[in-house]
Amino acid sequence: MTALPTDSLALVLLVFVLGLKHGFDADHLATIDGLTRYNARANPGLARFCGTLFSLGHGAVVLAIALAVSLLSQGWTPPEWLELSGAWISIAFLVLLGVLNLRAVFAAETHEMVHPVGLKGRWLGRLGQVTHPGGVALVGALFALSFDTVSQAALFAVAGVQTGGWLHAVSLGFVFMFGMLLADGANGFWIARLIARADDSARVASRVMALAVGGMSLLVAAYGIARMVLPGIAAWGEGKELLLGAAVIGVVLASFVLGVRLARPRGVASQVAG
């Protein structure tokens, strides 16, 4: 809570960046990848919209959490253990996801596409093989029922109440959802294009994105650990949350754009270059 800005505009921008960053979470990428690949065979018309639908379901739960917390948080301050435990849980997940995704890149054969690796998606069972838009949204909603998502939504909801009441808290939920929707929707569309091509350029593009996601997961985790154990790093980072979050998103987006360019048909790429 102490790291969140008190200025309304700064808080809105930070929550938007958090939503974008959340959308590029390796678990989101891996699950959207699986849903898109399954629907590319079972329901091609739905495949490219899996990321958008997943994000809408996920965002609906975030909005519900923001509303509930804002209505119940009058005169209540989140306990310190909520932020502390949430930070360590996020760090542990980031380290594990970073290692697994980098391992997937180096373990893949040269003729294979690299698929993002997630943790939560392994618990889905048959839910990872839904072919109905409502089912895809339900998968996204179930993903929001995790400690990291709930704690993050609760913290910015309380900040919203303190700066503008429950309506402001819910508005921040919409801002978070919009940022996440941009990231997840673009990712689903991109994966659908890679599946349609699956040539050498597409395989390179999948490696670029996996390396970026895995590498940034480890870097963010390392920074989080440094903040927790080194007071000097924590002091240096005060007031730079928005800038640092934007830098992480910038690196991932740059890799995404590079992947899109690599995945274009060679004829289109040469025309663009010309």
Listed in order, strand segments (DSSP E) in 142-259 are none
| Regions of the chain with pLDDT less than 70 | 1-7, 73-83, 86, 118-128, 196-202, 239, 241-242, 259-260, 262-274
Whether 190 contacts 49, CB under 8 Å:
no
Q: Is the dihedral of CA 231, 233, 236, 237 positive or negative?
A: negative
Q: Which pLDDT value is given to residue 2?
A: 46
pTM: 0.73
pLDDT in tens, 215-267: 888 888 888 888 888 888 877 777 676 677 777 777 777 777 776 676 665 54
- What is the reported pLDDT for 8? 73
pLDDT at 241: 67
3-state secondary structure of 204: helix
3-state secondary structure 50-78: HHHHHHHHHHHHHHHHHHHHHHHCCCCCC
Other Cβ atoms less than 10 A from the Cβ of 224: the count is 18
Amino acid 122: pLDDT: 62
Report the C-alpha gap between 262 and 200 in whole angstroms: 9
User: Phi, psi at residue 265, to the nearest 5°?
Assistant: -60, 145
Q: Look at residue 268 in the predicted model and tell me its pLDDT.
A: 46
Q: Compute CA 59 distance to the chain's CA centroid, rounded to the nearest angstrom.
A: 12
| pLDDT value of position 273 | 42
Instruction: Give me the pLDDT at residue 207, please.
Output: 81
